[in-house]
Amino acid sequence: MTTPARPINRHHKRPRGEGQWALGYREPLNKNEENKKNDDGLNVRQRIIDIYSKYGFDSIDPADLRGRMRWYGLYTQRRPGIDGGKTAILEPEELDDRYFMLRVRIDGGRLDLRQLRTIADISNLYGRGTADVTDRQNIQLHWIEIESVPDIWERLEAVGLSTTEACGDTPRVILGCPLAGIDGEEVLDGTPHIREIHDAYIGDPAYSNLPRKFKTAVSGCPAHCTVHEINDVAFVGVVNERGEAGYDLWVGGGLSTNPMLAKRLGVFVTPEQVSAVYGGVIGIFRDYGYRRLRHRARLKFLVNDWGVERFREILQTEYLGYALPDGPAPEQPRGGRRDHVGVFPQKDGNFYVGFAPRVGRLSGDALHLIADIAERHGSDRVHTTVEQKMVILDVAPDRVDSLVAELEANDLRVNPSTFRRQTMACTGIEFCKLAIVETKATASDLIDELERRLPDFTEPLTINVNGCPNSCARIQVADIGLKGQLVVNDEGEQVEGFQIHLGGSLGVNAGFGRKVRGLKATAAELPDYVERVVRNFEKQRDEGETFSEWVQRADEADLK
């Protein structure tokens, strides 16, 4: 007897691909991928120069306006007057203003005074005096009109700066220690390796169509100031068993709505190998990264699915053509803060002076003032940090006191309170189309109130304020992370507020903040809430215990 044929399942489909080019899935699977296939984002520059700057905002192709212009650091900013409740409801064209945010990329955070003054001039001429230092060492300007962009580019490029790939699905700014080359305790100076990566890959069409953004850090800083744990790729300075300085390689870090910490590949990368290894990692992301769903298009998802062993094998066999030796893990970070605020000696006998602008908010005039103060005290270098701070380098010993006095007199704090020093805020609803609540003014007011209420509190405590769930201000790894949302107050009104994350940290015990059920506060309630939880910490902490460590063991009642 013959076996009857199995019925044909006419609904059976080939397993859906994730849009990985290396596996043959080259057809665009969403609108973003289609736009990138139609035209590389780098090509928009000439259209801005030849067409859009001459014929104005209404001449801009929508695919360029909300897509490719990001390849040159340009985002439309939020139209004034649109409240946070409409952020997720309105169409993009309803949220768009006719002005742009412009991001100036500052690789390694390195600026000389000519560059700083150029940014200040652009701010005052074209950006209504706006200037924010970001937590990725960039400076962002607002109120930029498309007609002004070619002149802005000429001014920036004349002093060695650019906006190329400051945004978009590209290799964005390369983080580096602002003290690279001058810190006597650094493992090695990452400056030449940042420059090599920049020159080899930034603006190269071979790497300008990635599944999503790609964040990089390269540093030998003993304080681990470049937060390598939350970058797509990070080179962390180490010394191997033969006493050679090189890098430990980390991949797959990132926050946003699905946070993951980067993982060590366990390899030792020599300084000469950095550029090639970087090319291998970004090549894996380009070729194997998930492109079908945009919320899964970051490298962290691929690393999480593959694991470090497979990632290392693919890197070595398909991209490098040689094996990397095993290497040591980094030493634990030096000190309790990673921001370089204060006065410290350089290895050449001079000093650097780190100071804290208020939540990164400055202005064109303030940038000019900082440049003038630095110049009056013999410095030609002002660097940015990943904590929205700045550092003046190369100050002679006999000029330090007068420099500090002048900075302090202009509200640029060299000896700030914990709250001024360690509160960060994203752009917020003032300019950002994704935001739900205001952040910069809220955070600034919170600092003032906490300084008044808790003048003697000196323990490290990070307070990170974010206007939406996307974590530009790194809420999940803050001691107190505030995620903007609309909440209901005691009168039953819907107002601006925050979901509260507690006890996040990087470094020795890296981990994400604890979410306590129902723990929210209106913006007006924040000072009361933070004061209450800080006082509970002060009363209950053990000797040497950090806020993050206390949160992990505290009763929920003491966290509310």
pLDDT digit string, tens, across residues 187-233? 999 999 999 999 999 999 999 999 999 999 999 999 999 999 999 99
What confidence score (pLDDT) does residue 194 get?
A: 98
Mean pLDDT of the chain: 95
- 32-319 and 421-559 agree in CATH topology: yes
Least confident of 98-112, 264-278, 332-346, 397-411: 332-346
What confidence score (pLDDT) does residue 7 get?
A: 47
Query: Mean pLDDT across the stretch 413-434?
Result: 97
Q: What is the pLDDT of residues 168-189, one digit of tens each?
A: 999 999 999 999 999 999 999 9
Question: pLDDT confidence of 15, banded at 50, 70, 90?
Answer: low
Q: How many CB atoms lie within 10 A of CB 125?
A: 14
What confidence score (pLDDT) does residue 29 get?
A: 85
User: What does the domain layout of the chain look like in residue ranges?
Assistant: 32-319, 421-559
Q: What is the pLDDT of residues 20-57, one digit of tens each?
A: 999 999 998 899 999 999 999 999 999 999 999 999 99
H/E stretch holding 50 reads none
Residues ≥6 apart with Cβ < 8 Å to 545: none
What confidence score (pLDDT) does residue 474 get?
A: 96
Within 13 Å of residue 149, how many CA atoms lie on the same side as its CB? 33
Within 13 Å of residue 472, how many CA atoms lie on the same side as its CB? 21
421-559 has CATH 3.60.15.10 classification: no
The pair of structure tokens assigned to 142 is 């607002």
- Cα–Cα distances (Å) from 222 to 225, 226, 243, 285, 344, in that order, read 8, 10, 16, 29, 14
Q: What is the pLDDT of residues 339-367, one digit of tens each?
A: 899 999 999 999 999 999 999 999 999 99
User: Percentage of residues in the chain with pLDDT exceeding 90?
Assistant: 92
Q: What is the pLDDT of residues 274-303, one digit of tens each?
A: 999 999 999 999 999 999 999 999 999 999
Least confident of 55-59, 150-154, 338-342, 450-454: 338-342
Q: What is the pLDDT of residues 85-117, one digit of tens each?
A: 999 999 988 999 999 999 999 999 999 999 999
pLDDT greater than 90 at residue 470: yes
Pick the CATH number of 32-319 from 3.30.413.10, 2.60.300.12, 3.90.1150.10, 1.20.1050.140: 3.30.413.10
Question: pLDDT confidence of 2, banded at 50, 70, 90?
Answer: very low
Residues ≥6 apart with Cβ < 8 Å to 476: 255, 259, 501, 504, 512, 513
